[in-house]
Structure 1
Amino acid sequence: MSDHVSPTATGGGLYRRVWRWHFFAGLICLPLIFSLATTGALYLFHRQIDDLVYADVLLRAGDGPASLPASLLIRNALQAHPGHVKALTLPDDRRYTAQVDIVAADGVTLQVFVDPATGVVAGALDESSRLMTTIKHLHSLALVGDGGKVVIEIVAGWVVVLVLSGAYLWWPRGRRQGVLAIRGKAAGRVWWRDLHAVSGAYAGVVILFLALTGLPWSIFWGQQMNRWMSDHGLGVPDGMWRNVPKSTQPAADLGALPWNLQQQPVPASDPSAADPHAEHKAASRRAMAGARYNALDNPAAIGVDQAVATLRAAGLASELGTGYRLALPRDERGVYSAIRTPGQLDGQRVVHLDQYSGKVLMDLGAARFGPLGRVTEWGVSVHQGGEYGWPNLLLMLAGCVATMVLCVSGVVMWWRRRPSGRLAAPARRDGDRLARGVVAIAVGAGVIFPLLGASMLAVWLLDSAIGAIKSK
């Protein structure tokens, strides 16, 4: 929401139209943009904040080696909190406890924390009530379901529009003051205008990066892009499913996965490899007990300890600083799924094991992703501040803070400029038109990002209708 300068310096009608779009885009999306920036800034430091808030259960009292078998950790967790085991997370640092995810009788998922050296249960947390879980859901609007994800996708697209239109409005056009520094004697509305312009000038590229790299999580563009990349071998490897049976289990059941794999099916185990009647026997035992399937109680399965040993032989070992989440089979045809997402692209890895034979059905790391898949995963890693350590975190934090500054300064600048009781949107005069190049860019963006395109069309129709009414 930049202040205008003389029509001669700005190019007249084009400048006014761009300013008008910049104004309305900011005014409509500003609350959500501010929320995205605030929650995003907090979530960048989710691990550090968790360590402070939940130190009593996350951090170990000693630093002895994590030597106890996985089955014992799970058994101790179940003794303290009975239920159905979903997964075991082995820590990547000796400072931390292991985490056992248990679904209680009331359906609540409890995260039970066990010392991997002593087997002592340090405590448990309701997964849905953790502070960073709430922050993450606020950031994605997941609290309001798929509708929230649609809104987030549209807002992310409008952030791109705001950055590009803001760059056009900021362009010096012969001006030297208030471009790269706030004027020394600036006060009042001029000071806020300079703060807005200068903040955007320095942080625009980072904000644009955050908006674009946030789109892979979107409900429409992200899913369609993921599917298209998979169909053309640009994400997951070509032929990865050759001779590998697929299950009906959705990948979302496994927890956090690399983006390229979030829409991929999960492999299936072959019960007949161990016992032709294993599947029916396990189903019968479960039906008689009236309980959910438990791989730990299936004598035909390899068991969690053997699964961990197989994964260790494959290069996944918590004592080597490569902790991972091990999702247990959910039924007779389920698999053991080890998921490592350390933050850096090259450390990502997902390994699926047949629960009966222990055979590695699939082993996927970032090196096997296609070119677009690697670029997308890299963008996601940088977006989350994990790819390059503290410099990465601080740069993304700066982008979030700058976004908040732009939101506040834009509102203050508009409030000081507007006459009392009026919206004071930038005026549009008869004959004002957008340049063909601008229209082409808008159409191109609408094709690539359909929800943004639909919302841009709606805004254009509304603006045109208002202009037609006023001209009568």
Structure 2
Amino acid sequence: MSELTIGREPAGIAARSASNLYRAVWRWHFYAGLLVLPFMITLAVTGALYLFKDEIDGIVHSDLKLVEVQESAAKALPSQMVDAAVAVYPGTAVKFTDPVSPDGSAEITVETANQGKLAVYVDPYTGKVLGALPDRGTVMWTIRYLHSLKYFGSFTRALIEIAGGWSILLVGTGIYLWWPRRQMGGVVSIRGTPRRRIFWRDTHAVTGIFVGFFIVFLAVTGMPWSGVWGAKVNDWVNGNNYGYPAGVWTGVPMSDEHANHLAQMSWSLEQAKVPQSSEQQNQARAVGLDEAVATFEKLGLHKGYAVNLPTDTSGVYTGSVFPDDLASQRVIHLDQYSSKPLIDVSFADYGPFAKGIEWGISVHMGQQFGLVNQLVLLAACIAIVVLAISAGVMWWKRRPSGSLGVPPLPADTRVFRGLLAILIVGGMIFPLVGISLVVMLVLDWIYSSIRPQRTA
């Protein structure tokens, strides 16, 4: 057998790794883990917290979000709540959000001169202003931005996409390494104690095989938010009428404004244009917020809806709601003069691709199947953290002194051809992942070339 040039593995380990294919898979599994595991820990921890966003926000911001239910009291009108919010926090009201439950407060989004957008919370029974936070300033919005790395700029969205692709590679190579080869332990059972490396090896392998499906599912369903792949797929899906139903926009005057610039939209409606109120009625009196809200409720918009107010003479009232139940997702645009629905889109109107992606996103966020969905994904997130920690401990215990501990190259490097074919296909589907694979191949070649000179 040729002399090993990478990692300086002990002879026993080299003998047990005699299979060239096993070595090749092991090496790329190591690289995938090196790139992905730090991201996976961050995503798992923030994702686990975000699964319970409503519950956590309700506890942390209970003074703003929760009110005492007054069964016999008449609720304040939306316009009265808006007036109260603007009186305390002067500015222009741009959105009214209906309480999702009887003990919830209403939320008025106010554009102020000095503080930017504020979310002002109002008791719907008394009309009293409870306080304010920066728009999207709750603790769960902070967690969501940490989860998506949005705080660190648009470049990090590309890193999320790369991490997602490498996570899939990590699972695929991990399954191959886990596959039983006449051994009894380490398949579904854990041997040894935490003092021994085999304990961490078995913990990693057993946890990985049970959580692998969830890693792939979360990686794939998280891709729609990615900066390159997600944006391109969104353009393709909607551009080919597989996403939002283009037919409902016919015969309606349209603006150049995208819906997601005005309000938080579902993935499938981000590219949808916003209609305009009729130019022929611009001299007429615009209907007020109370009438617009009454129209939305008459049309059956789900509780917890948000109403974006018109910002100019051709603007519209936009009512939108995206509850846990996908069937209740809905966006309605009303003419601000006649309160006539110009566009009314629900989940049932989405194209097949959009429905599939929206379903995946809903499950990813722990919404689609209620508490069961939350608990299952919470267990998966905990398992992912265990997987990452066990990988680190196992590597540290295996790593030879003075070496990075990269698994050795196979004696016959031709075994990489099959892996490369898989990597090329994956790179074509996910371009950023493909670029990162090429970079890693170059770095691996450089490392393999210079390492023997340094250790000779």
- What TM-score does the superposition give when structure 2 sets the normalisation length? 0.92
Pair 1:43-2:54 in alignment: no
Output the amino acid matched with 1:433: R
Output the amino acid matched with 1:56: D
- Cα offset, 1:347, TM superposition: 1.7
Counterpart selection for 1:379 from 334, 339, 360: 360
Judging changes above 3 Å, is the alpha-carbon distance between structure 1 residues 207 and 402 closer, same or farther for their aligned structure 2 residues?
same
**Structure 1, residues 152-180: CA drift from partner, whole Å, max 9, x if none?**
11111111111111111111122221111
- Cα offset, 1:11, TM superposition: 7.3
Output the amino acid matched with 1:178: G
**Structure 1, residues 39-91: CA drift from partner, whole Å, max 9, x if none?**
11111111111111111110002343663221111011111111111211101
State the alpha-carbon separation in 1 of the partners of residues 143 and 194 from structure 2.
37
Q: Is 2:221–2:360's contact at 8 Å kept on the other side of the alignment?
A: yes
Q: Is 1:14–1:433's contact at 8 Å kept on the other side of the alignment?
A: no
- Cα offset, 1:133, TM superposition: 1.7
Shifted more, 215-224 versus 58-67: the winner is 58-67
Quote the residue 2:237 is aligned against. 229
Structure 1: runs of 5+ lacking an equivalent = 279-299
Q: Is 1:302–1:356's contact at 8 Å kept on the other side of the alignment?
A: yes
Quote the residue 1:306 is aligned against. 291
Pair 1:118-2:126 in alignment: yes
State the alpha-carbon separation in 1 of the partners of residues 14 and 190 from structure 2.
23
**Equivalence map 1:40-439=2 (5 Å):** 40-64=47-71, 67-183=75-191, 187-275=195-283, 300-316=285-301, 322-434=303-415, 436-439=417-420
SS at match of 2:173: helix
**Structure 1, residues 341-374: CA drift from partner, whole Å, max 9, x if none?**
1122212111111112212111111111111111
Pair 1:30-2:11 in alignment: no
Quote the residue 1:12 is aligned against. 19
Work out the number of aligned pairs and report it. Answer: 443
SS at match of 1:239: helix
Output the amino acid matched with 1:20: R
Q: Is 1:274–1:357's contact at 8 Å kept on the other side of the alignment?
A: no
- Cα offset, 1:185, TM superposition: 6.0
Shifted more, 35-44 versus 248-257: the winner is 248-257
SS at match of 2:255: coil
State the alpha-carbon separation in 1 of the partners of residues 158 and 115 from structure 2.
28
Structure 2: runs of 5+ lacking an equivalent = 1-8
- Cα offset, 1:249, TM superposition: 2.3
SS at match of 2:442: helix
Output the amino acid matched with 1:19: W
State the alpha-carbon separation in 2 of the partners of residues 345 and 433 from structure 1.
49
SS at match of 2:257: coil
- Cα offset, 1:446, TM superposition: 0.9
- Cα offset, 1:140, TM superposition: 0.6
Quote the residue 1:291 is aligned against. none
Output the amino acid matched with 2:200: W
Shifted more, 379-388 versus 132-141: the winner is 132-141
- Cα offset, 1:264, TM superposition: 1.8
SS at match of 1:216: helix
State the alpha-carbon separation in 2 of the partners of residues 447 and 335 from structure 1.
42
SS at match of 2:236: helix
Percent pairwise identity: 43
Output the amino acid matched with 1:206: F
SS at match of 2:90: coil
Output the amino acid matched with 1:160: I
**Structure 1, residues 228-267: CA drift from partner, whole Å, max 9, x if none?**
1112211111423211222232323233211100122222
- Cα offset, 1:186, TM superposition: 7.2
**Structure 1, residues 298-346: CA drift from partner, whole Å, max 9, x if none?**
xx211111111111121126xxxx2201111122222111111112221
State the alpha-carbon separation in 1 of the partners of residues 140 and 85 from structure 2.
23
Quote the residue 1:460 is aligned against. 441
Q: Is 2:107–2:119's contact at 8 Å kept on the other side of the alignment?
A: yes
- Cα offset, 1:274, TM superposition: 4.3
SS at match of 1:102: strand
State the alpha-carbon separation in 2 of the partners of residues 184 and 344 from structure 1.
46
State the alpha-carbon separation in 2 of the partners of residues 316 and 241 from structure 1.
20
SS at match of 2:306: strand
Output the amino acid matched with 2:21: L
Output the amino acid matched with 1:221: W
State the alpha-carbon separation in 1 of the partners of residues 330 and 367 from structure 2.
15
Output the amino acid matched with 1:230: N
Judging changes above 3 Å, is the alpha-carbon distance between structure 1 residues 44 and 66 closer, same or farther for their aligned structure 2 residues?
farther
Judging changes above 3 Å, is the alpha-carbon distance between structure 1 residues 424 and 137 closer, same or farther for their aligned structure 2 residues?
same
- Cα offset, 1:141, TM superposition: 0.9
Quote the residue 2:6 is aligned against. none
Q: Is 2:238–2:271's contact at 8 Å kept on the other side of the alignment?
A: no
- Cα offset, 1:465, TM superposition: 2.9
Shifted more, 406-415 versus 433-442: the winner is 433-442
Shifted more, 141-150 versus 243-252: the winner is 243-252
